[in-house]
């Protein structure tokens, strides 16, 4: 089965409602603006895999596309509960919370998390700088001298800049054609267990470009290449 073949995916899904690959089909429908089918596939798949972050993320985007921002926010919060490093979901959550006018403290926490995952995110940096600047201004006495600081600003740890999701989509030439937002180690495991080794390697390439755990990526790649070699020898 080719994961970029819509017909094959539809036929497979029709016979296997419990497949964890449901998010791939749902994402295809979403990209075609077929929100009704995308929602239906997500609902069926999430009955069997309620903590699947890829499926939840697609559902959140369906809710957003239909204008259900509060529902989208709830689903995205579930995504972050199961995967706190899901950058695309976090960025979308920040966007929606801003539109909904959530409390500044809540927004600050979310944008700081974005900045931790993506130090080069300009929007997050500008928001955090502005909020902290406002707080510092409010801490000054009438004469303009600083009052004893009440907020401790910890030194930011230097992290290796990560490629944004948009960069991955633009730069990836993977024949698998799986959206970068759906690429996870779980998908790699599923593909590997189903004998789709080349596709699993494609997903690992996307994960590497996204800045995921390099050691884990290399270990998985080595394991898969060993499996391919064993099969060829047999």
**Domain annotation covers residue 74:** no
User: For residue 127, is it within any domain?
Assistant: no
User: Does 169 map to a domain?
Assistant: no
pLDDT for position 153: 41
pLDDT of residue 181: 62
Indicate the number of domains in the chain: 1
pLDDT value at residue 33: 93
In this prediction, residue 5 carries a pLDDT of 78
Q: What is the domain extent for residue 230?
A: 175-234
Q: Specify if 82 maps to a domain.
A: no
Identify whether 11 is part of a domain.
no
Q: Is residue 118 in some structural domain?
A: no
Predicted confidence at residue 219, as pLDDT, reads 86
Give the whole-angstrom CA distance, residue 121 versus residue 115: 6
**Structural domain contains residue 204:** yes
User: What is the pLDDT, as a whole number, of residue 39?
Assistant: 97
Q: What is the pLDDT of residue 155?
A: 44
Could you list the beta-strand ranges (E) of the chain: none
Helices and strands in the chain: count of H runs, count of E runs = 12, 0
Which helix (H) or strand (E) is 134 found in, with range?
helix 122-138
Question: Is the Cβ–Cβ distance between 72 and 61 less than 8 Å?
Answer: yes
* pLDDT of amino acid 9: 87
Buried b / exposed e along 13-27 (16+ C-beta atoms within 10 A): beeeeebbbbbbbbb
Mean pLDDT by 10 residues, the chain (234 residues): 79 89 92 95 95 94 93 96 91 88 89 90 84 62 48 44 37 46 70 74 86 85 86 74
In a domain, 223, yes or no: yes
Q: Residue 140's beta-bridge partner residues?
A: 146
CA separation, residue 93 to residues 44, 86, 104, 185 (Å):
24, 11, 14, 22
């Amino acid at each position: 089965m080719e994961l970029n073949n819509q017909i094959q995916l539809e036929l497979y899904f029709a016979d296997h409602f419990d497949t964890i690959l449901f998010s791939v089909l749902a994402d295809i429908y979403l990209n075609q603006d077929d929100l009704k089918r995308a929602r239906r596939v997500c609902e069926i798949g999430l009955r069997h895999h309620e903590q699947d972050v890829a499926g939840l993320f697609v559902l959140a985007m369906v809710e957003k596309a239909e204008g259900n921002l509060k529902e989208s926010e709830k689903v995205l919060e579930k995504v972050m509960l199961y995967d706190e490093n899901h950058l695309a979901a976090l960025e979308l959550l920040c966007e929606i919370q801003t539109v909904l006018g959530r409390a500044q403290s809540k927004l600050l926490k979310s944008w700081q998390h974005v900045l931790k995952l993506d130090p080069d995110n300009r929007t997050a940096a500008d928001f955090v700088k502005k909020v902290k600047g406002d707080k510092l201004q409010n801490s000054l006495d009438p004469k303009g001298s600083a009052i004893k600081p009440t907020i401790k600003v910890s030194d930011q740890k230097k992290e290796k800049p990560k490629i944004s999701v948009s960069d991955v989509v633009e730069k990836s030439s993977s024949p698998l054609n799986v959206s970068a937002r759906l690429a996870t180690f779980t998908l790699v495991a599923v593909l590997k267990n189903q004998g789709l080794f080349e596709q699993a390697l494609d997903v690992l390439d996307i994960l590497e470009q996204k800045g995921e755990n390099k050691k884990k990526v290399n270990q998985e790649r080595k394991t898969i290449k060993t499996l391919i070699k064993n099969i060829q020898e047999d």
